[in-house]
Amino acid sequence: MGAIGSGRKKTHLSTSDCITIDIKDLRGYLTGGTCYLIDDKVKCTVEGKQLEIAYAFVEKQIRESVQLVTTILPNIGGKRYWMLCPCCQRRVRILYISMVGYPTCRTCLELNYPSQRSSAIERHITYEKYLLSNYGYSWAFHKYHSYHFRKGG
Binding stretches for Zn ion (CB under 5 A): 85, 87-88, 104-105, 108
The residue of the chain with the least Cβ separation from Zn ion equals 85
Q: Which is nearer to Zn ion, 9 or 146 (CB)?
A: 146
H helix or E strand, kind and range, residue 65: strand 60-72
- Return the amino acid letter for 131: L
Provide, rounded to whole angstroms, the least separation between the CB of residue 69 and Zn ion.
14
Q: Which is nearer to Zn ion, 53 or 105 (CB)?
A: 105
Q: Which is nearer to Zn ion, 78 or 114 (CB)?
A: 114
H helix or E strand, kind and range, residue 141: helix 128-149
Provide, rounded to whole angstroms, the least separation between the CB of residue 89 and Zn ion.
7
Q: Which is nearer to Zn ion, 46 or 66 (CB)?
A: 66
Cβ-based neighbours of 124, under 8 Å, separated by 6 or more: 10, 12, 14
Provide, rounded to whole angstroms, the least separation between the CB of residue 2 and Zn ion.
36
Provide, rounded to whole angstroms, the least separation between the CB of residue 127 and Zn ion.
19
Question: CA separation (Å) from 96 to 26, 32, 71, 109, 120?
Answer: 15, 22, 21, 8, 18
Three-class SS state of 2? coil
